[in-house]
Amino acid sequence: MAESGGHGVGGAAGVMGGSAPYARRGPSPTALGRWLKGERLGEDAAIALAAGRAAARARARMIGRRVLLSLPALVGVVIVSFVLTRALPGDPAAYFAGPAADAQSIAEIRAQLGLDRSLPEQFLVYVGDLLGGDLGQSISTGQPVLEELARRLPASLELTLSALILSTLVAVPLGVAAAARQGTWVDHACRAVVTAGVSLPTFFTGIALVYVFYYVLGWAPAPLGRLDLLYFPPEPVTGFYTVDAVLAGELETLRGALAQLALPAVTLALFTMAPLARMARAAMLEALGSDYVRTARAAGLSPTRVLYGVAFSNAMLPVVTTLGMVFSFTLGANVLVEKVFAWPGVGSYAVEALVVSDYAAVQGFVLAMAVLFVALNLLIDVIYTLIDPRTRQGA
């Protein structure tokens, strides 16, 4: 029995001893955990990559749909601008011929301009030239409209973007502070700024700033365009004098361009600040009273994190939309600021063309503004997909 027991125990030990090397060949618990973790990380990376590709495809489809939907709008702009310009009072041929021209000379010039044809024929000629990239020739300047717009549009863009940057840096924090401290002096100051920005005309604000800072104090240069006569324009790269001066390393030219840009940008910023501050305040008040903000407060988040991490990120969606609308409106409506400061932009160019019934210039301006408006809406849609997950899912 003892031998049998010993043999049994020894046999069991021998069997276990003989199988021990095979047991050590299997993965240890630590190695198995690392392997499972690595496989899980690989699956997560693959899922994230697939989700990113799907989001990119959805964004591309969304942009394609927006472009296709904008084509009928552009066609409508071309038709409406053509019809309205032909309805303007005045005769471009008579203006081009001069006050001393007789009826025969005016008729010859009208034939040269193609104005003796019927409206359908004029429209077909205009569309054909438009498809070929020809916007016509301005009768007031004698230059191609496309070249005039390409030369003047950067000036308007530089002024408008500078004003929007200034107004955004002031209006958004002011609106957030007014919503966070509703009923205090900060809220009252925000309302005063909004009321003043809406009530004061831009030409009055511009003239007042010129009188104070140029005539009385002498701090600002003369309001005579984009650059003082003492400076030469920088080598054109972007068309923005400030950016081109930085690229060329011309610090004196940069200083002169900023000095000329300061007063018109502040004038326009005071006007654009009102809708941005009002929208930021209203959006923040709505966000602070929402259920997810109350949940964040109940979860123990700090007031700063609730204000800026939860409420602010959601309140910025309507502010972005308002910013795009203000930009598109201001770009074509800043003609009064351009006139006060002798700024050579597209707004003043369009008004001068309207006075003399310059059909090609007016149509080119309207079409350029329509294309910029469509491009801006596309940019806003793309920004929405980046900051709003619901838009990405919907796309």
3-class secondary structure, 15: helix
Q: What is the pLDDT of residue 191?
A: 83
Identify the residue with better confidence: 152 or 21.
152
Given pLDDT bands bounded at 50, 70 and 90, which one contains residue 7? very low
Contacts of residue 274, defined as CB under 8 A and 6 or more positions apart, other chains included, come to 171, 193, 194, 195, 196, 197, 198
Taking residues 256-269, report their average pLDDT.
Answer: 90
Identify the residue with better confidence: 301 or 25.
301
3-class secondary structure, 144: strand
Taking residues 340-354, report their average pLDDT.
Answer: 86
Contacts of residue 380, defined as CB under 8 A and 6 or more positions apart, other chains included, come to 320, 321, 324
Give the pLDDT confidence of 158-172 residue by residue, as tens digits: 999 999 999 889 888
Domain ranges of the chain: 141-355
Q: Which residues of 48-82 are buried (b: 16+ CB within 10 A; e: fewer)?
A: eeeeeeebeebbeebbeeeeeebeeeeeebbeebb
CB atoms within 10 A of CB 129: 13
Q: What are the Cα distances from residue 304, in Å, to 141, 311, 389?
A: 57, 10, 23
Taking residues 90-97, report their average pLDDT.
Answer: 70
% pLDDT > 70, the chain: 81
332, 367 Cβ separation under 8 angstroms: no
Q: What is the pLDDT of residue 33?
A: 53
% pLDDT > 90, the chain: 5
223, 340 Cβ separation under 8 angstroms: yes
Give the pLDDT confidence of 179-231 residue by residue, as tens digits: 888 878 888 888 887 888 778 888 888 899 999 999 888 888 888 888 888 88
166, 266 Cβ separation under 8 angstroms: yes
310, 341 Cβ separation under 8 angstroms: no
Q: What is the pLDDT of residue 118?
A: 77
Fold of 141-355: MetI-like fold (1.10.3720)
Q: Alpha-carbon distance 153 to 236, whole Å?
A: 13
Q: Alpha-carbon distance 365 to 356, whole Å?
A: 15
226, 155 Cβ separation under 8 angstroms: yes
Nearest to 261 by CA among 220, 313, 300: 220
Q: Across all residues in the chain, what is the average pLDDT?
A: 77
3-class secondary structure, 137: strand
Taking residues 60-85, report their average pLDDT.
Answer: 79
Query: Per the structure block, which two tokens stand in for 197?
Result: 């920005």
pTM of the model: 0.73
Given pLDDT bands bounded at 50, 70 and 90, which one contains residue 270? confident
C-alpha angle with apex 24: 43 to 11, nearest 5 degrees?
145
342: left (phi over 0), alpha (psi -120 to 50) or beta: left
Q: 132-135 — which CB contacts under 8 Å span 24+ positions?
A: 135/360, 135/363, 135/364, 135/367
pLDDT value at 322 more than 50: yes
Contacts of residue 376, defined as CB under 8 A and 6 or more positions apart, other chains included, come to 324, 327, 328
Q: What is the pLDDT of residue 264?
A: 92
